Structure 1
Amino acid sequence: MKKCFQDIRLIFGFIIAHALIYFSFHEKTIFWYIFSGSILILIAYATLQGEVDDEASFIKYIFFGALSGLVLYFIFWLGSHALQLMNLPFEKPIRKLYRWYAPHEFWQYIALVLVAAPGEEIFWRGFIQKSLLKYIKPFLGILIGAILYASVHIYSGSFLLVFAALISGFAWGLLYYWKKSMPLVIVSHIIFDMMIFLILPLK
């Protein structure tokens, strides 16, 4: 575990991510402009550190990616309905999240598919998690990677978004470790985002 703190590239990348995502969430009216640019910087940083894994065939990564994205969305859908049944006050926070950070314009959906979803996976799973797994056991590395991914979402001011990032980050971390395929995880992330933002929003 000590070696993780001695990996300068890992620590520096994590600090950069926090700084960029902080500024992204700082001004809601221009969130998608700053966030898209921030993710492009993180993609560039991650790709300079090494290659990501790509061991699945085209058919496999499309199939498992789409399936896992739908399953993850269904888990979130069940969770939202369970909260409704328990009469917990979550509807207003969810509506705020959609109003503040969900894509609303066509170019924002393009940025979501072509920049945000791929970039988050390339950086957080392809770089951060992969770096952690050099030093610690898989389950712990995946869990810590998910916690680090969730940690940058604190600047949104929403516990729900942090929790959602933790759950989805852990799921995508497991998927990446299992299938060793970055395209597969990117497809999963895109399908999940399209379901939750466009096709069947949870608000």
Structure 2
Amino acid sequence: MKKLIQDPRILIGLALAHVLLFFSFHDRTIFWYIFSGSVLILIAYAMLQEEVDDEVSFFQYIVSGTLGGLLLYFIFWLGIQGFRLLHLPIETSLNNLYKWFAPSLFWQYLALILVAAPGEELFWRGFIQKRLGKKFKPSLSVLTASILYASVHIYSGSFLLILAALLSGLAWGTLYLWKKSMPLVIVSHIIFDLMMFIILPLH
């Protein structure tokens, strides 16, 4: 914790992320307007702090990223089916999550694919996790970055979204640690979002 506090760049980035996401989630009727602008600001901040890693070939990051995104979606699908089999109260939370925050207009889908997915990876994995990796052991940097990623989702008021952010953060953080390729995790995030919001939504 002391090492984290001693890094002003991380602290400024986290403060910025919390303020921006607080306002993004504050009014659900204009969520996509504020969220898209917020992610663009986080992209700009991250790009000023750290270089983008890309240590795999184009073919590898397309294939591995696609497989990673599909695998993560399948894990989430299994989790939802498990909740349903156990008759746990998941449907209302899941339906609300889609109603409140899922894209519904064409430009929102474009923002999801071209802004949100790349931006979240550039900031949380490419900046936060990478910078934490200079101070902590690799596994701890992945865990810490994932918890911090989940923490900005508290303003959504959805425990399900916080849990989803934590689990997906761990998955993408591990993938980034393993392959050292930002394009790969961006592709994985995009494929996951396409499955979740367009191809096979979970609600």
Specify the TM-score bucket, using the shorter chain as the normaliser. over 0.9
Amino acid at match of 2:147: I
For 1:56 and 1:38, locate their aligned partners in 2 and report how far apart those are by CA, in whole Å. 29
Residue 62 of structure 1: how far off its partner (Å): 0.1
Q: What corresponds to 2:92 in structure 1?
A: 92
Counterpart of 1:43?
Answer: 43
User: Match for residue 34 of structure 2?
Assistant: 34
Q: Residues of 2 paired with 1:121 and 1:84: CA distance?
A: 30
**TM-score w.r.t. structure 1 length?**
0.99
Return the TM-score normalized by structure 2.
Answer: 0.99
Q: Kindly state the Cα deviation for residue 52 of structure 1 after the two structures are TM-superposed.
A: 1.7
AA of the residue aligned to 1:114: L
Task: Indicate whether 1:52 and 2:62 are aligned.
Answer: no
Structure 2 counterpart of 1:168: 168
| Residue in structure 2 matched with residue 115 of structure 1 by the alignment | 115
* Residues 12-27 of structure 1 aligned to structure 2 (within 5 Å): 12-27=12-27
Question: Hey, which bits of structure 1, 4+ residues long, moved more than 3 A?
Answer: none
1:5 shift after superposition: 1.0
Task: Give, in angstroms, the shift of residue 2 of structure 1.
Answer: 2.0
How far apart are the structure 2 equivalents of 1:165 and 1:3? 24
Identity, % of aligned pairs? 68
RMSD of the TM alignment (CA)?
0.6
Q: Distance in 1 between matches of 2:88 and 2:165?
A: 20
Instruction: Give, as a single letter, the amino acid of the residue that structure 2 aligns with 1:136.
Output: F
Equivalent-residue separation in structure 1 for 2:140 and 2:49 (angstroms): 22
Q: What is the rounded CA distance, in whole Å, between the counterparts of 2:27 and 2:12 in structure 1?
A: 24
